[in-house]
Amino acid sequence: MHTFRAVLRSAIVIGCATLMHAQQPVVDLTVLKNAGKPSDSLPGSWLTYGKSQSEQRYSPLKEIDASNVKRLGLMWSLQVGTGGYAQEATPLVWNNTIYGITTWSSVFAVDARTGKEIWRWDPQVNQSTTKGITANRGLALYNGMIFAPSLDGRLWALNALTGRPIWETRVAYTQDRHYITMAPRIAGGKVIIGVSGGDSGENRGYFDAYDASTGQRSWRFYTVPGDPSQPYENDAMRAAAKTWGGDFYKKGGGGAVWDGFAYDPDSNLVYVGTGNAEPWTQKFRGAQNVDNLYTCSILAVDLTTGQLKWYFQTVPNDNWDFDSVQQLMLLDLTIDGRPRKVLTQAAKNGFFYLIDRGSGQFVSGAPFVKVNWAKGLDDSGRPMVNPEAFYDTEPVAVYPTGGGAHNWAPMSFNPSTGLVYIPASYSSYTYQADEEYKPNTSGTTRGGGTEPRQIKAPAIGPTAPEGVRGGLQGWDPVKHRLVWRADGGGGIGGGTVTTGGNLVFHSMNDGRLMAYSADKGEKLLEVQTGRTGMGPPITYAIDGKQYVALMGGAGRGARDPADAPLQNAPTLFVFALDGKAELPTPAPPAPRNGAPPAR
């Protein structure tokens, strides 16, 4: 799989990239470490999924600002592939080129000024093996290479200039109901990637580190223990096994790693969020009233050794599919008069957390939406679960929704306002346990025709107006206070980016791109792109001109995008001031949010 010839070819193409594109530095570890900081050598680029390794999604660009954003118009658009599900990928920008990936893992490079395609590469995913899982959240960029995950479990390194493969490695197999939907990240010369499929049944979650130059695996970290009759992989698994029981391992355990990640090069720690326990309902998992580590947790793992340094579990003994895989963001905040280096998460369970990122100590937390599954958090951050929220075969309505108060749609942080901008969902979800467990299922279904039992205990957290299903929140992470709310959208689709121009751009699943003032939440722009199933926006600059880009479209069709225009075709949109290009005809309405997305 990995040969000397492949490594030599990698060195040659990287060297060529350096010579041919000397006007922009090759993206090395120093460039990535400084991305998003005042020392950023490429402030107009977008080099990693979250703009910076702290995942803040803040750009200092300010040619487009609150005074002129109403002049934003389409510069160009490009159909980028076939559909199958909503576009979830964050494009990358380097060397005047946009790099993107579609739901079916087709990678493309486009001139960021004109929209002319430079190259395209398709891993030819066997669509019949993915069992309805159709999502891809993005790429990684490092040292002249693009790192692309394919949905069917492969990880590729491609020449960033030509799109030709440099190496390929196998991370997972669809036969095991494992898939890759997470955007890979670069950390200290390694590529970090996790596996999806936690709700496909009988899966054991894990994430891997691969050498970026060769594709050789450096280490693997399992998120839940395996068969107790076999040796434990490490001390972390030995400790976790004490929090499980019965024949849980025959049902996989869960703990999929399909999104949240951050990296702190100063501490040499990678931070990863883990998915829910499987099956959803505790009665099918074995022993009762145990925590089921390390599901629904945030893990800090040493990059060099792959060993666990600390963990923080947001939902012990989860029964509601409340993953902790949502975006992890590293912030330096002043709390109670002293500086704190914290990790933050607007979790699916409805609470916004601040965790000391060095020790894992709980700093603070509060609900950012209406919550009734828990009565609050104790001094250690452990939820005080409302007994009424437990369910069996009688359906019960629980806040927040099964898709989560915040799901994969990225939030962002603006250092000038001190606010985090969270795409949030406000609805409830009806849970109902199956009579008996069936293999390869969650063991839980949404309540059908039976009227669900209502929880009588008072809910906590901000309550949205009647009938409002979701919106964008300007949230103060220090005071745990809702500063402003813009109704519309939700926590599952789209996402945000915030800028030095006092702006927050918010894309919504129904095709709209919105712009708000970052400080007050005033709506300044609304554009209907003509597509549904939107990915998160980014912003970049070339020769002093600022652009806003995003992908959208969930249509199905032939593999070759040149075959014929598709209704709601997956499309890359690029906007700038005074853009005059014509927007596509609006697509049919998006389906209502409710069920969790493919992951």
Query: Is pLDDT at 368 greater than 80 in this prediction?
Result: yes
Rounded distance between C-alpha atoms, residue 108 and residue 148, angstroms: 11
The label of the residue with tokens 């030709």 reads 164
Q: What is the pLDDT of residue 201?
A: 63
Query: Is pLDDT at 402 greater than 90 in this prediction?
Result: no
582: CB partners within 8 A, 6+ apart: 74
Helix (H) or strand (E) holding 15: helix 4-20
The label of the residue with tokens 């069917």 reads 152
pLDDT digits (tens, 9 = 90+) for 88-125: 999 999 999 999 999 999 999 999 999 999 999 999 99
What is the C-alpha radius of gyration for the chain, rounded to an integer number of angstroms? 22
Rounded distance between C-alpha atoms, residue 351 and residue 65, angstroms: 31
- How is residue 150 written in tokens? 């394919």
Largest CA-CA distance found in the chain, in angstroms, rounded? 68
What is the percent of the chain with per-residue pLDDT over 90, rounded to a whole number? 78
Query: Is pLDDT at 561 greater than 60 in this prediction?
Result: no
Q: What is the pLDDT of residue 559?
A: 44
Q: Exposed, middle or buried: residue 436 (CB in 10 Å: 0-12, 13-18, 19+)?
A: exposed
Q: What is the pLDDT of residue 14?
A: 45
Is-catalytic flag, 560? no
Q: What is the pLDDT of residue 449?
A: 63
Q: pLDDT grade, residue 388 (50/70/90)?
A: very high
What is the DSSP pairing of strand 329-335 with strand 481-487? unpaired
Helix (H) or strand (E) holding 574: strand 571-577
Helices assigned H by DSSP within 163-217: none
CA dihedral sign of residues 430, 436, 438, 440: positive
Q: Which of 321, 323, 434, 510 is catalytic?
A: 321
Q: What is the pLDDT of residue 15?
A: 45
Q: What is the pLDDT of residue 584?
A: 81
- How is residue 373 written in tokens? 């599954």
Q: What is the pLDDT of residue 198?
A: 66
Q: What is the pLDDT of residue 6?
A: 45
- In angstroms, the first-to-last Cα distance of the chain is 28
pLDDT digits (tens, 9 = 90+) for 411-463: 999 999 999 999 999 999 999 999 888 887 788 876 666 799 999 999 999 99
Query: Is pLDDT at 191 greater than 60 in this prediction?
Result: yes
pTM of the model as a whole:
0.93
Asked if residue 429 has a cis previous peptide bond (ω within 30° of 0), the answer is: no
Q: What is the pLDDT of residue 445?
A: 78
Q: pLDDT grade, residue 22 (50/70/90)?
A: very low
33: CB partners within 8 A, 6+ apart: 53, 265
pLDDT digits (tens, 9 = 90+) for 486-515: 998 887 889 999 999 999 999 999 999 999
3-state class (DSSP) for residue 32: helix
Query: Is pLDDT at 288 greater than 90 in this prediction?
Result: no
